[in-house]
Amino acid sequence: MGVVMVRQRPGTPTLEEVAALAGVGRGTVSRVINNAAGVKESTRRSVQRAVAELGYVPNLAARSLAGRRADAVALVMTEPDWRMFGEPFFSEIVRSVGDALTDTKVQLLLTLVRTDAERRRFVEYARGGRVDGVMLMSVHAEDALPDMLAEVGLPTVLLGRRSGDEGVTYVDADNAGGARSAVTHLLDSGRRSVATVTGPLDMYVAQCRLRGYREALRRAGVEDRSSWIAEGDFSEDSGRRATAELLARAPEIDAVFAASDTMAAGGLTALRAAGRRVPEDVAVIGFDDFPLAQHTDPKLTTVRQPLEDIGRTMVRLLLEETEDSAVAWRHVILRTELVLRGSA
């Protein structure tokens, strides 16, 4: 016998059959199902009746082929470490992107790109015209995927930048500004020895937050000491370790700015373990990467990222690029907000 491959199974009615039943031409049916103007109301109605009677559903492959859009966009997560997938940061972005698309006819497709094979497959998929645009989350600095997509003319929007001169359209939080406001707040409240736990410094986001920290110190005329800087990797554990390290080599510190809330949580642990009272002896502020994380200290003062806005903005930019091929790229930086909760 052999492998019989019936995809769109036989019975599926076509536009032509609808036209026949309604006694009109195919063009008219097409206009009706696409809500195009210029169809007599009575005709429209009879076509709609035929559509309902036959249970007609347009074949999307044919529609795409005939030159229209795919009516779908991809939100891709390029993260070899699948555990990140569960992080509140990502589920929040996914939710807000979904919300921004909920009242459109654009289908959101989440995809995971972990290996090189998956990367190739996705590029084929996207270049093959099955999506109108691509949003990328958690892109690593060396990742060429965004360029591959953008170069072939596919609307592409990044969440965050890979470097200071990012070429592809992106939406990012004001990381430097956020860090600056956090550190300025610490200095304004009388703290003089403000240390920082940075993120991994090969990531641009971590560099920005460190720069903001330095700028705030400089503006306040406080001398920048290397003993006040310790590098973490955004994990809670690294925050604990880095803070302990700071405490050991710079016992004078009376405030800590951590480049993520999870590291700040770890920092709190380390400070308390060392007998420091928070915020009396040491004030702490974290940059809010995982705003809903259960494990974050609820009293922690943080710099809040507007995740909802980020998702919405990514969608807006993407749809705009989809409809206006003139724009090469755009860069959007969104404001952050300091949320005081008692640890600083």
Partner DNA sequence: CTGAAAGCGCTAACAT
Partner DNA sequence: ATGTTAGCGCTTTCAG
Helix, strand and coil content of the chain, in percent to the nearest 5, comes to 45, 15, 40
Q: Which of 23, 25, 27, 129 binds a second copy (CB under 8 A)?
A: 129
Q: Is 91 in the site for a second copy (CB under 8 A)?
A: yes
> What would the two tokens of residue 211 be?
């720069």
**What's the CA angle centered on 222, arms 217 and 224, to 5 degrees?**
70
Cα 146 to Cα 126: distance, rounded to the nearest angstrom: 12
Cα 35 to Cα 29: distance, rounded to the nearest angstrom: 10
Task: Give exposure, 82-91, as e/b (b: 16+ Cβ within 10 Å).
Answer: eeeeebbbbe
Which residues between 40 and 59 bind a second copy (CB under 8 A)? 57-59
Partner whose footprint covers residue 190, from DNA, a second copy, none (CB < 5 to 8 Å by kind): none
Partner whose footprint covers residue 30, from a second copy, DNA, none (CB < 5 to 8 Å by kind): DNA
Cβ of residue 94: shortest distance to a second copy, in angstroms?
7
Cα 295 to Cα 37: distance, rounded to the nearest angstrom: 55
Cα 188 to Cα 283: distance, rounded to the nearest angstrom: 12
Which residues between 244 and 263 bind a second copy (CB under 8 A)? none
Residues making contact with DNA (CB under 7 A)? 5, 8, 12, 14-16, 23-28, 30-31, 33-34, 38-40, 42-44, 56, 58-59, 62-63, 65-68
Cβ of residue 64: shortest distance to DNA, in angstroms?
8
Cβ of residue 150: shortest distance to a second copy, in angstroms?
12
Partner whose footprint covers residue 83, from DNA, a second copy, none (CB < 5 to 8 Å by kind): a second copy
> What would the two tokens of residue 173 be?
């939080």
The residue behind tokens 């090189």 is: 116
Which residues between 277 and 316 bind a second copy (CB under 8 A)? 292, 294-295
Q: What are phi and psi of 251, to 5 degrees?
A: -60, -15
Q: Which residues contact a second copy (rule: CB under 8 A)?
A: 3-9, 11-12, 57-65, 67-70, 72, 82-83, 85-88, 90-91, 94-95, 98, 102-103, 105, 107-112, 114-115, 117-118, 121-122, 124-125, 127-130, 132, 152-153, 292, 294-295, 323-325
